[in-house]
C-alpha cells in the first residue's frame, strides 16, 4: 500500500516535471522572438497591457527594477544540515514550524541538495539565514526536531552555505547556478512571472485617481517659500487615504520632508487612538507596523532618508512622478543608484513605479534638494 | 586628531552606552547616541520606535531634535563641528539624515549588518552620484566614520534586549535561549567602513595591525588601547546575529 502511494506520487512528480520542461521551452523560445510574438503566445495573456521591454503597465506606470541581464548571483549565507533521504519529512516539518518567514524569499530554491559522502547518499537541507540564528541555536533546533520524531540522539553536522537570492533569468544560467551553488526550481523566465504577479495586483484606476490628486495639491496649495512636494499614504484594503502631507521644511527644521510628515502623522494619530480606546480595543491592535502594506503616492522621487523610512515602515508600493536625478534613491539611474526599495530584501522590499504618462505633471524643483 | 584622543572617544562611547541602558529599562531596542560639540555633550538620544509607534524615531533623530531646540538659530553651524557617538552603526536612513545635517564625524560600536548606511549595506556617508555633469560643490559633503569603539559592549546591549524579547515569545521556551552569549562576537571588517589611512590617522600608525587583522579594539580602564599584534597578519572572519530593525 505504502509502495503504491509512492509510485503514484513519483508519476505525478514526473508529469509535473515534464510540464515544467515544456513551459520552460516555450519561455526559452520566447526570448528569441520579439515582443509582439510574446503577447500572442498562449503563455502571455492577450489582455495584459504590459510593455515587456520597458516594464510599463497600462502605458503609464514604469516598474523600477534592476536590469534583467544580471549573470552574477547575489549570495547570502544560510545554515544547512546533512540528513539521510528518509528524514526529509522531519526537515520539511521543521521548516514549516520554525522558519515560515523565509519561505517567500526563497520560493525559487529547492529545500534539498543531493550529495554523496563516502558512497552514501545524503541530503543537504536548507534551514535559515545565518544572521537571524546563531550556530548554537540552529544546532539545538535541528537536534530537537530529530529527537522528537525519531527518539534517538545522533550526531549533527551544521554548515554554512551560499545561496542565490536572485533568480537566474534563463535556463542555462539556472542549470549553472543549480550545480555550482544550490538547486533552483525553474518555472520559466522569472522576470515575466514577477511582472505578471505584480500586474495582477495593480489597480490602475486607483493609481490614476491618487496621482491626479497629488498633482492637483502640488500645483495649487504651496506658498512661495514652500516646496511643491506632496505625499499621500493609502490603505489599499479599504481604498482610503490615511495621511496627506506637504513638505514643510523651514530653517528651524530642515527634515520635515512630506514622507517623514506622513509617517509621523499616522503614528501620532494611532498613539492618540490607543490612549482613548478601551483595553480590549488596544489589545486587538498590537501591530506596530502602522503603514504595513500601504500604498504611497508622492510627486517627487524620495531621497535616501525618506526611501529608507518607507522600508522601515514596511509599505507595499510606492508611485512617484518626477525623477530626482541627483538626490533620488529609487530609480535605477538616480543618485547613487541604491534602489532602496530592493536593497535590504532579506528583511523587506516594496514595489516602486514611476508615473510616465503626460496627463499629470508635478512642478519642477531644484534638483540638488533632497525631498 | 591623533592617538592622544583615543581615551576621549572611549569615554564618550561609555556615555552613549549609559543612554542605551535607559532604553533597555523602557523596553526599547537599546541603540543610543550622544552628540558632542566643543568637548561637551549637547544631546542624548535613544531609539523610541515602540513608544511612538513610529519606525523612523531612531536615536540619531531624537538627538537632532534636542539640538534644534537648544540652538534654534545656529544648529546648522553647530553640527558642522559636532561628532556623533552611537552604539550601533547608523542605518541607511540615519546615515542620510546625518549627511543632510552635515555632521562632522561619526563614531560607532558595532556594525548594523542588515541596514547599515556607513559601510555594511551602503556608504551613504561618502558616496557621490554616478552621473557625470554634477556640480560637486552643491552636494552635501561627506563625513568619516570610525567603527568598533566598544563594539562588544554594544552587541551585549542588543543581546540583553533580545533575551527580554525571547522571554515574551512562546516559541522559544527552552532555557538555552535565555543565556547571554559573551564569548562569540561578530567580527568587524574595518575596510568596509574606512580606509587604512583614515584609521591610522586616528589610532596611530603603530595600531595599523588592528585594521589589518580585524581585531577588536581592546581598552584598559583609562581608555588606552591594549591590543597586540599576533604577527600572523591573518584576517579574522565574520559571524553575526542581529535580527531587529535598527
Q: Could you read off the pLDDT of A128-179 as tens digits, one per residue?
A: 888 778 888 899 889 888 888 888 777 889 999 999 988 888 888 999 999 9
Contacts of A284 (CB under 8 A, 6+ apart): none
A335 interface with B at CB cutoff 8 Å: yes
Cα angle value A316/A321/A327 (rounded, 5°): 90
**Contacts of residue A329 in chain B, CB cutoff 8 Å?**
96
pLDDT bracket for residue A347 (50, 70, 90) = confident
Give the gap in angstroms from C-alpha B14 to the nearest C-alpha of chain A: 27
Q: pLDDT tens across A17-61, in order?
A: 444 444 443 444 344 333 333 433 445 677 899 998 899 999 999
Q: Give the ipTM.
A: 0.93
Choose the closest CB to B121 out of A274, A325, A343. A343
Q: Which residues of A touch B170 (CB under 8 A)?
A: none
The pLDDT assigned to B188 comes to: 94
- Edge-first strand order for the sheet with A112-117 is A112-117, A120-129, A75-83, A158-164
**Would you place residue B246 in the very low, low, confident or very high pLDDT band (cuts 50, 70, 90)?**
low
Query: Is residue A366's pLDDT more than 60?
Result: yes
A239: left (phi over 0), alpha (psi -120 to 50) or beta: left
pLDDT band of A82, cuts 50, 70, 90? very high
Average pLDDT of the residues in A99-112: 78
**Grid coordinates given for B51:** 513608544
Domains delineated in chain B = 3-183 (3.40.140.10)
Among the listed ranges A292-296, A320-324, B242-246, which one has the minimum average pLDDT value? B242-246
Indicate which of A131, A147, A277, A308 best probes the interface with B, i.e. most B CBs within 10 Å of its own CB: A308
Percent of chain B with pLDDT over 70: 88
If you ran DSSP here, which 8-state letter would residue B36 be given? E
Q: What is the pLDDT of residue B173?
A: 52
> Quick one: cell of B160?
540583553
CA-to-CA distance for A206 and B206, rounded, in angstroms?
Answer: 63
pLDDT band of residue B177 (cuts 50, 70, 90) is low
Nearest CA in chain A to B128: A336
Mean pLDDT of chain B: 91
Could you report how far apart the first and last alpha carbons of chain B are, in Å? 30
Residues of A in contact with B93 (CB under 8 A): 304-305, 308-309, 312
Cβ-nearest to A131 among B54, B97, B241: B241
Domains of chain A: 75-186 (3.30.70), 197-355 (3.40.140.10)
> In the predicted model, what is the mean pLDDT of residues A188-203?
89
What pLDDT, on a 0 to 100 scale, did the predictor assign at position A117? 85
Looking at chain A, list the stretches that DSSP marks H as alpha helix, in order from N- to C-terminal side: 2-32, 35-40, 88-98, 135-150, 171-180, 190-200, 204-220, 258-276, 279-284, 304-312, 340-343
Q: What is the pLDDT of residue A13?
A: 42
User: What is the DSSP track for A158-184?
Assistant: EEEEEEESSPPSSHHHHHHHHHHT--B
Instruction: Encode pLDDT of A264-275 as tens digits.
Output: 999 999 999 988
Give the integer Cα–Cα distance in Å for A129 and A41: 39
Q: In this predicted structure, what is the pLDDT of residue B170?
A: 59
Residues from chain B contacting residue A326 (CB–CB below 8 Å): 129, 131, 134, 139
Asked if the model's pLDDT at residue B210 lies above 90, the reply is yes
Interface test with A, best of B67, B129, B176 (most A CBs within 10 A): B129
pLDDT at residue A131 in the model: 77
Q: What is the pLDDT of residue A95?
A: 86
Grid coordinates in use for A313?
A: 515602515
Closest among B138, B98, B123 to A336, alpha carbons compared = B123
Q: Where are the alpha helices (DSSP H) in A1-102?
A: 2-32, 35-40, 88-98
* Whole-number average pLDDT of chain A: 85
Nearest neighbour of A312 by CB, restricted to B56, B131, B184: B56
Cross-chain Cβ contact A134/B181 below 8 Å: yes
Q: Is the pLDDT of residue A224 over 80?
A: no
pLDDT band (50, 70, 90) for residue A279: low
Question: Is A15 within 8 Å of chain B by CB?
Answer: no
Residue of A nearest to B241 (CA): A131
Q: What is the pLDDT of residue A285?
A: 63
Average pLDDT over residues B121-135: 90
**Beta carbons of B229 and B209 less than 8 angstroms apart:** yes
Question: Do the strands A112-117 and A230-235 form a parallel or antiparallel pair, or are they unpaired?
Answer: unpaired
Q: Which one of B47, B66, B68, B93 makes the best mutation probe of the A interface by having the most chain A beta carbons within 10 Å?
A: B93
Grid-cell match 563641528, residue found: B81
pTM confidence score = 0.80
If you measure CA to CA, which chain A residue comes closest to B102?
Answer: A254
pLDDT value at residue A275: 87
Among candidate residues B60, B62, B89, B213, the one labeled active-site is B60
Give whole-number Cα distances, B105 to B8, B9, B126, B172, in Å.
14, 12, 12, 40
Do B101 and A255 count as a contact with CB atoms less than 8 A apart?
A: yes
pLDDT of residue A7: 39
Give the torsion sign (CA, A355, A360, A365, A371): negative
> What is the Cα–Cα distance from B238 to B188, expressed in whole angstroms?
7
Q: How confident is the model at residue A9 (pLDDT cuts 50, 70, 90)?
A: very low
Query: Parallel, antiparallel, or unpaired for β A56-57 and A317-322?
Result: unpaired
Residue of B nearest to A345 (CA): B114
Q: What is the pLDDT of residues A226-270, one digit of tens each?
A: 999 999 999 999 999 999 999 999 999 999 999 999 999 999 999
Amino acid at each position: 500500500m505504502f509502495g503504491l502511494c509512492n509510485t503514484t506520487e513519483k508519476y505525478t512528480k514526473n508529469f509535473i516535471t515534464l510540464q515544467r520542461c515544456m513551459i520552460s521551452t516555450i519561455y526559452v523560445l520566447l526570448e528569441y522572438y520579439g515582443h509582439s510574438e510574446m503577447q500572442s503566445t498562449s503563455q502571455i495573456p492577450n489582455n495584459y497591457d504590459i510593455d515587456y521591454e520597458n516594464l510599463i503597465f497600462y502605458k503609464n506606470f514604469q516598474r523600477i527594477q534592476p536590469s534583467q541581464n544580471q549573470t552574477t548571483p547575489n549570495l547570502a549565507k544560510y545554515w544547512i544540515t546533512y540528513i539521510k533521504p528518509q528524514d526529509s519529512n522531519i526537515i520539511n516539518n521543521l521548516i514549516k514550524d520554525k522558519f515560515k518567514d523565509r519561505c517567500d524569499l526563497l520560493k525559487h530554491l529547492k529545500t534539498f541538495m543531493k550529495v554523496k559522502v563516502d558512497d552514501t547518499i545524503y541530503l543537504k537541507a536548507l534551514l535559515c539565514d545565518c544572521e537571524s540564528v546563531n550556530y548554537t541555536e540552529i544546532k539545538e533546533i535541528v537536534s530537537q526536531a530529530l529527537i522528537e520524531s525519531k527518539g534517538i540522539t545522533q550526531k549533527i553536522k551544521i554548515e554554512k552555505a551560499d545561496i542565490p537570492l536572485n533568480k537566474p533569468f534563463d535556463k542555462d544560467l539556472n542549470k549553472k547556478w543549480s550545480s555550482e551553488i544550490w538547486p533552483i526550481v525553474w518555472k520559466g523566465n522569472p522576470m515575466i512571472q514577477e511582472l505578471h504577479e505584480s500586474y495582477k495586483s495593480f489597480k490602475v484606476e486607483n493609481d490614476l485617481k491618487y496621482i491626479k490628486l497629488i498633482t492637483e495639491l502640488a500645483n495649487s496649495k504651496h506658498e512661495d517659500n514652500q516646496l511643491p512636494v506632496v505625499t499621500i499614504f493609502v490603505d489599499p484594503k479599504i481604498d482610503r487615504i490615511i495621511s496627506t502631507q506637504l513638505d514643510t521644511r523651514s530653517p528651524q527644521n530642515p527634515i520635515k520632508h512630506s514622507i517623514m510628515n506622513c509617517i509621523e502623522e499616522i503614528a501620532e494619530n494611532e498613539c492618540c487612538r490607543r490612549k482613548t480606546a478601551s483595553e480590549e480595543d488596544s489589545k486587538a491592535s498590537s501591530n506596530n507596523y502602522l503603514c504595513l502594506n500601504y500604498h504611497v503616492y508622492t510627486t517627487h522621487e524620495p531621497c535616501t532618508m525618506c526611501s529608507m523610512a518607507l522600508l522601515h515602515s514596511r509599505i507595499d508600493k510606492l508611485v512617484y512622478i518626477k525623477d530626482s536625478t541627483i538626490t533620488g534613491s529609487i530609480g535605477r539611474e538616480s543618485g547613487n543608484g541604491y534602489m532602496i526599495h530592493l536593497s535590504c530584501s532579506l528583511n523587506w522590499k516594496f514595489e516602486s513605479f514611476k508615473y510616465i504618462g503626460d496627463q499629470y505633471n508635478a512642478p519642477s524643483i531644484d534638483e540638488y534638494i533632497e525631498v | 586628531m591623533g592617538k592622544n584622543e583615543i581615551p576621549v572617544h572611549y569615554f564618550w562611547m561609555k556615555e552613549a552606552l549609559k543612554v542605551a541602558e535607559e532604553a533597555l529599562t523602557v523596553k526599547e531596542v537599546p541603540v543610543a547616541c550622544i552628540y558632542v560639540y566643543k568637548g561637551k555633550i549637547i544631546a542624548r538620544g535613544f531609539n523610541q520606535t515602540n513608544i511612538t509607534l513610529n519606525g523612523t524615531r531612531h536615536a540619531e533623530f531624537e538627538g537632532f531634535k534636542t539640538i534644534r531646540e537648544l540652538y534654534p538659530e545656529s544648529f546648522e553651524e553647530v553640527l558642522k563641528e559636532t561628532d556623533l557617538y552611537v552604539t550601533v552603526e547608523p542605518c541607511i536612513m540615519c546615515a542620510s539624515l546625518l549627511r543632510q545635517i552635515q555632521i562632522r564625524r561619526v563614531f560607532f560600536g558595532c556594525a548594523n549588518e542588515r541596514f547599515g548606511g556607513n559601510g555594511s549595506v551602503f556608504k551613504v556617508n561618502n558616496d557621490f552620484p554616478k552621473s557625470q555633469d554634477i556640480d560637486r560643490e552643491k552636494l552635501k559633503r561627506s563625513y568619516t566614520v570610525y567603527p568598533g569603539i566598544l563594539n562588544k559592549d554594544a552587541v551585549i546591549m542588543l543581546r540583553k534586549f533580545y533575551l527580554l524579547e525571547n522571554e515574551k515569545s512562546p516559541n522559544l521556551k527552552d532555557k538555552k535561549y535565555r543565556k547571554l552569549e559573551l564569548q562569540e562576537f561578530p567580527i568587524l571588517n574595518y575596510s568596509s567602513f574606512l580606509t587604512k589611512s583614515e584609521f591610522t590617522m586616528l589610532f596611530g600608525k603603530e595600531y595599523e595591525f588592528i585594521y589589518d587583522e580585524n581585531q577588536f579594539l581592546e581598552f584598559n580602564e583609562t581608555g588606552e588601547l591594549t591590543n597586540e599584534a599576533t604577527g600572523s597578519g591573518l584576517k579574522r572572519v565574520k559571524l553575526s546575529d542581529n535580527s531587529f530593525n535598527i
